[in-house]
Amino acid sequence: MNILLLGSGGREHALAWKIAASPIVEKFWCAPGNAGIAREAACIPLDASDHAAVIDFCRRESVDLVVVGPEAPLAAGLIDDLDAVGITAFGPSRAAAALEASKSFTKALCREHGIPTAAYEAFSDAGAAKAYVRVQGAPIVVKADGLAAGKGVTVATTVEEAEAAVDAIFRDEGAAVVIEEMLTGEEASFFVLCDGEHALPLATAQDHKRAFDGDTGPNTGGMGAYSPAPVMTEAMCQRVMDEIVMPTLAAMRARGTPFKGVLFAGLMITADGPKLIEYNVRFGDPEAQVLMMRLMSDLVPALLAACDGVLNTFDLRWFPDPALTVVMATRGYPGDYPKGSRIEGLREAAAVKGVEIFHAGTKADGEAILANGGRVLNVTASAPTIAEAQRRAYAAIDLIRWPEGFYRRDIGWRAVKRERDAHV
């Protein structure tokens, strides 16, 4: 079986590591990949936004399965175009990718089907949005929708802050905003493999979005993660399947846009039970790194079963050991940062027991590895306890010599504390 993977992050290195280990894989390419992925796959300069070029490559090389890592090609309809010419591809259609691409779409779907989520209103006008903010009061959450989605999320503690966030979003023409109730509780991520009809829960994870220790500093794509998330007990996972995931899949099917691929539910576990914060339609980054560390079964047949609509006949096995990943980023991230600094000690670090190093923004220069992005490395460890996984990850990091890099020293603190409290 010949496979093409699209993407270049730590998520894609972790996926590539599992795919390359599959005995049914013959040829394996990744576009564009990175210096770590190059050890697992042939990296090629194929542009995922050029659908015709992707189709040409797949035909020329007899690619049997395309796996799409990031959300942008999904929202751009790459899966639809591959499907239309009979190339098997893992991921949702453009219409189904709206679960991530449009916050107002997902909120309306939740409202219509009684799926628990924060109370909200959507606005395409700044004045009406601000009037609503004043009536609701703070704290309140302001989210850009549609064209202005890059502006992200503001959890505002005052009405003034919320109004300023609304104004910032409406500086772009055609902007829209979702304003919602602030939820309190513990956050968790829940991943489910879907084939349009059936759903196979994968595993749970928790990530650390803030740049600095103690969950302070600016929001990032994620500075570390661990799996499983202790707050997601078996009973809680079942509730999330029954109350959130299955009703969503049924609603998508009823609309004629069944969801295939990985559904990533960002949850808040509140005093009233689990509530959906948002969906993503792909693996998380860095959550995929810890999920792939824990997956015992071959990933490739599972991806094929999702494409073929036969996930109901399928099961996956997991290692019981927890896994934890620490992101090393270039100083300056998530703001501006330089590229090209040299990273040393990777070989020694990777030799630490239970450790795998997944690359994100790296580039090879002969034998040397250079930083080539914001998030650069994912030092990932598994062990019988989360405390030991944390110890192993940091033991490996201590062997990496990269003065231009930084990382958080407290990844997994909540789970480590919970583990310690359970044992005294």
Contacts to ligand GLY by CB under 6 A: 207, 221-222, 280, 284-285, 287
| Residue of closest CB approach to ligand GLY | 222
Indicate which of ligand AMP, ligand GLY, none lies near residue 207 (CB less than 5 to 8 Å, by partner kind). Answer: ligand GLY
Site string for ligand AMP, 21-40 (x = CB under 6 A): --------------------
CB distance 43 to 29 below 8 Å: yes
**What tokens were used for 333?**
């991230």
Min dist CB 9 to ligand GLY, Å, is 9
CB distance 362 to 336 below 8 Å: no
Indicate which of ligand GLY, ligand AMP, none lies near residue 373 (CB less than 5 to 8 Å, by partner kind). Answer: none
Nearer to ligand AMP, 19 or 141 (CB): 141
What residues numbered 127-166 form the site for ligand AMP, per CB under 6 A? 141, 152-153, 155
Nearer to ligand AMP, 209 or 331 (CB): 209
Indicate which of ligand GLY, ligand AMP, none lies near residue 118 (CB less than 5 to 8 Å, by partner kind). Answer: ligand AMP
Cα end-to-end span (Å), the chain:
51
Binding residue for ligand AMP (CB under 6 A) from 3, 118, 223, 276?
118
Instruction: Fill in the amino acid letter for 58.
Output: C
Q: Are strands 3-7 and 65-68 parallel, antiparallel or unpaired?
A: parallel
CB distance 401 to 349 below 8 Å: no
What does the DSSP 8-state code read for residue 272? T
Min dist CB 17 to ligand AMP, Å, is 26
Indicate which of ligand AMP, ligand GLY, none lies near residue 278 (CB less than 5 to 8 Å, by partner kind). Answer: ligand AMP
Please report the DSSP string for 206-264 in residue order. Answer: EE--EEETTTEEEE-S-SEEEES-TT--HHHHHHHIIIIIHHHHHHHHHTT---EEEEE
* Spatial separation of the C-alpha atoms in residues 90 and 392, rounded to whole Å: 33
Instruction: Fill in the amino acid letter for 354.
Output: G
The continuous run of DSSP H or E covering 394 comes out as helix 386-397
Indicate which of ligand AMP, ligand GLY, none lies near residue 287 (CB less than 5 to 8 Å, by partner kind). Answer: ligand GLY
Binding residue for ligand AMP (CB under 6 A) from 87, 183, 265, 393?
183
Query: Does 182 contact ligand AMP by CB under 6 A?
Result: yes
What does the DSSP 8-state code read for residue 309? T
Helix orientation angle between 10-20 and 287-294, rounded to the nearest 10 degrees:
20
Nearer to ligand GLY, 195 or 285 (CB): 285
Binding residue for ligand AMP (CB under 6 A) from 80, 186, 187, 213?
187
CB distance 286 to 314 below 8 Å: no
Min dist CB 267 to ligand GLY, Å, is 13
Gyration radius of the chain's alpha carbons: 21
Residues 6+ apart with CB under 8 A from 71: 97, 100, 101, 280, 281, 282
**What tokens were used for 98?**
């709206």
- SS3 breakdown of the chain: % helix, strand, coil, rounded to 5? 35, 30, 35
Instruction: Fill in the amino acid letter for 391.
Output: R
Query: Does 185 contact ligand AMP by CB under 6 A?
Result: no
Binding residue for ligand AMP (CB under 6 A) from 121, 161, 172, 278?
278
Query: Does 370 contact ligand AMP by CB under 6 A?
Result: no
Min dist CB 62 to ligand AMP, Å, is 39
Min dist CB 172 to ligand AMP, Å, is 17
Query: Does 277 contact ligand AMP by CB under 6 A?
Result: yes
Indicate which of ligand AMP, ligand GLY, none lies near residue 277 (CB less than 5 to 8 Å, by partner kind). Answer: ligand AMP
E-assigned strands of 35-107?
42-43, 65-68, 89-90
Min dist CB 210 to ligand GLY, Å, is 12
Nearer to ligand GLY, 166 or 202 (CB): 202
Comparing C-alpha atoms, which of 396, 362, 392, 395 is closest to residue 377?
A: 362
Query: Does 180 contact ligand AMP by CB under 6 A?
Result: yes
Nearer to ligand AMP, 184 or 313 (CB): 184
Min dist CB 163 to ligand GLY, Å, is 27
* Spatial separation of the C-alpha atoms in residues 187 and 278, rounded to whole Å: 11
Cα–Cα distances in angstroms (integers) from residue 255 to residues 82, 93, 252, in the given order:
21, 13, 5
Positions touching ligand AMP (CB under 6 A) are 118, 141, 152-153, 155, 180, 182-183, 187, 209, 266, 277-278
